[in-house]
Chain A
């Protein structure tokens, strides 16, 4: 599949937006404006951008605690995302959810999730609804390497397979589940091989190569839209930071972290490729950076200036209330 110059630049911008959002979230956390835990996806932007760039608004995705990148790629409003992190009324969840529960039902974001494995059956259920309703949509399920060992993943993958649901399982293999190396938690060399046990086609791609991810994702999405059932993609990647904001990630060898940061950074490498291929000039990249930074600053400012989540109607939010005119 040939990508146009514009598509490549869009993908670059998308990855850069995700990273800048995450960096600003980290700054905000360090200033004490955001509390709770933040699981940043810095270093993993290519998998979010490559998998989601070509999706339609009505397609679905369900993600994890490390989901900011996915929801940004799906088109979430950065203002409402920051506002949520800051616990504001204008946030996606009115300050009730926080980082781990950002959702936007209007554009098919079925939520980040605080439970490892929790989102996988939900994506499969969206796939069931798509098939049931005869829609030409697809549901993507994002999860980490360590999630492969949950019962929820196993049960959901089997369902998707036997019912031939339009689901794409995207396993972002960043080599660790908190401190535990995937080598200790799973006996497979290639995680994608697990899909064979469900008779689901699986591929393993360089998850830091946005074009490679996009190609694999689009093939899988096409298969789903054609009624050929689920696929599994392993994106090999790495998180630059600790598991969450309070974790220094010291259980990882220094050389390993250095290697992934310096030689396998998805954004740096893609920029170099675009420059080498003369798809863009340094000036072109600089103006993308400036535009994104301005967008992030403004979005954050919006969040800061918004009013805090309302306390007085907390209890009304527990159940859906019948509309006043009913």
Chain B
């Protein structure tokens, strides 16, 4: 299969869906001619023009709110918020409006809406451009939270998100955009939302991760194999809805779990996963569930400092060895 970059997989998914369905359109800051600051909407403007690829002012609340209104009035918006850090500015529209409209209207309102954004630590973007805020969003009933780790997942999940009749926040990772991988060309290639993926099989320990931490976990698992430890890597892909079944099946198989996320520990989504494992598979565990996470601090600017606060393959290996 041909290999393309994560960011190309995203623009391919957008392109295919825009061709398939005239009501799908893209809007956000610098998404037009510029192609997005991470080039994830590159060339869409050329092919679909300004009426379907809308450059907006710097108005995050209006971007998400207008996306919602347009969805209520017959369109399928894909709104980009340049950094997940800036979803804070759109939070009323995300949390109080998008996520609740369907329920509050007794099921009348249908909201086929995607918010594409990206997060995580890059190379010195500092405290306001580096956060992992998925736990905020996963805490809001009514919103789906998708976080792809590979180019193929990015394409398949984005297409599924666009076709979904619920609001989806689709959180990419800035350090994944240039990663390459095989991606199907099929127009109807989709990955169901709410389905985790076993990225690597193993018997000794289950590593649960999402987004870029899947890549780091796979690297750790390769190293562990050299030491005779077989780690299974479960990529959640979607935090809400969560694929508890896949998690529990793996936990029952290995009896040991390490949960890895880049977000800081306190209130992180790893706590939720750990609690669910405790509630549903306590008797199968041979060790306490271990969390390998970012430290509870804003992300510092300088390289040695930000490296010191987010997990890497070494941290993951240590976490595994601690519970073996």
Show the binding face of A for B, using Cβ within 8 Å.
35-37, 84, 86-88, 93, 95-101, 113-118, 146-147, 149-152, 177-180, 184-186, 251, 308-309, 311, 314-315, 317-318
B61-76, CB < 8 A from A:
61-62
Say what secondary structure dominates the interface of chain B.
loop
- Nearest chain-B residue to A315 (Cβ)? B297
- Nearest chain-B residue to A148 (Cβ)? B57
CB distance from B164 to the nearest CB of A (A): 28
A96 to B306, CA, bound (A): 9
Residues of A within 8 A of B56 (CB): 185
Decide yes or no: A87 and B55 within 8 Å by CB, A36-B123, A36-B124, A315-B297 being known contacts.
no
Residues of A within 8 A of B182 (CB): none
A95 to B296, CA, bound (A): 18
Interchain CB contact under 8 A, A151 and B59? yes
Interchain CB contact under 8 A, B59 and A100? no
CB distance from A245 to the nearest CB of B (A): 11
B58 on interface, CB distance cutoff 8 Å: yes
Decide yes or no: A177 and B126 within 8 Å by CB, A87-B302, A93-B301, A308-B302 being known contacts.
no
Q: List 11 A-B contacts (CB under 8 A).
A: A87-B303, A96-B127, A100-B126, A101-B127, A113-B128, A114-B128, A149-B59, A151-B61, A309-B305, A314-B295, A314-B300
A103 to B304, CA, bound (A): 21
A311 to B308, CA, bound (A): 7
CB distance from B40 to the nearest CB of A (A): 14
A99 to B86, CA, bound (A): 19
Residues of B within 8 A of A184 (CB): 55
Decide yes or no: A95 and B128 within 8 Å by CB, A117-B58, A314-B308, A314-B309 being known contacts.
no
Decide yes or no: A309 and B128 within 8 Å by CB, A179-B30, A315-B295 being known contacts.
no
B29 on interface, CB distance cutoff 8 Å: yes
Contact of A317 among B58, B125, B297 (CB under 8 A): B297
Interface size band for B: 35 or more
CB distance from A311 to the nearest CB of B (A): 5
Interchain CB contact under 8 A, A97 and B127? yes
- Nearest chain-B residue to A316 (Cβ)? B297
B298-323, CB < 8 A from A:
298, 300-305, 308-309
- Nearest chain-A residue to B50 (Cβ)? A184
Say what secondary structure dominates the interface of chain A.
loop
CB distance from B280 to the nearest CB of A (A): 33
- Nearest chain-B residue to A118 (Cβ)? B128
Decide yes or no: A151 and B89 within 8 Å by CB, A100-B128, A117-B58 being known contacts.
yes
B129 on interface, CB distance cutoff 8 Å: yes
Show the binding face of B for A, using Cβ within 8 Å.
29-30, 32-34, 37, 55-59, 61-62, 85-86, 89, 123-129, 295-298, 300-305, 308-309
CB distance from B131 to the nearest CB of A (A): 11
Interchain CB contact under 8 A, B127 and A116? no
Contact of A178 among B29, B298, B300, B301 (CB under 8 A): B29
Decide yes or no: A35 and B58 within 8 Å by CB, A114-B127, A114-B129, A251-B33 being known contacts.
no
A93 to B299, CA, bound (A): 13
Interchain CB contact under 8 A, A150 and B127? no
Interchain CB contact under 8 A, A318 and B298? yes
Contact of A95 among B58, B301, B309 (CB under 8 A): B301
Residues of A within 8 A of B304 (CB): 87, 308-309, 311
Residues of A within 8 A of B61 (CB): 151
Interchain CB contact under 8 A, A95 and B29? no
Residues of B within 8 A of A309 (CB): 300, 302, 304-305
Interchain CB contact under 8 A, A95 and B57? no
Residues of B within 8 A of A116 (CB): 58
A318 to B264, CA, bound (A): 13
CB distance from A324 to the nearest CB of B (A): 22
- Nearest chain-B residue to A318 (Cβ)? B297
Interchain CB contact under 8 A, B124 and A149? no
Residues of A within 8 A of B309 (CB): 314
Contact of A314 among B33, B55, B125, B305 (CB under 8 A): B305
CB distance from B85 to the nearest CB of A (A): 8
Interchain CB contact under 8 A, A146 and B126? no
Residues of A within 8 A of B29 (CB): 177-178, 180
Interchain CB contact under 8 A, A97 and B86? no
Residues of B within 8 A of A88 (CB): 302
Interchain CB contact under 8 A, A178 and B305? no
Q: Which 8 A-B pairs have the closest CB atoms?
A: A87-B302, A36-B124, A98-B301, A114-B128, A149-B57, A179-B34, A95-B302, A35-B124
Interchain CB contact under 8 A, A35 and B123? yes
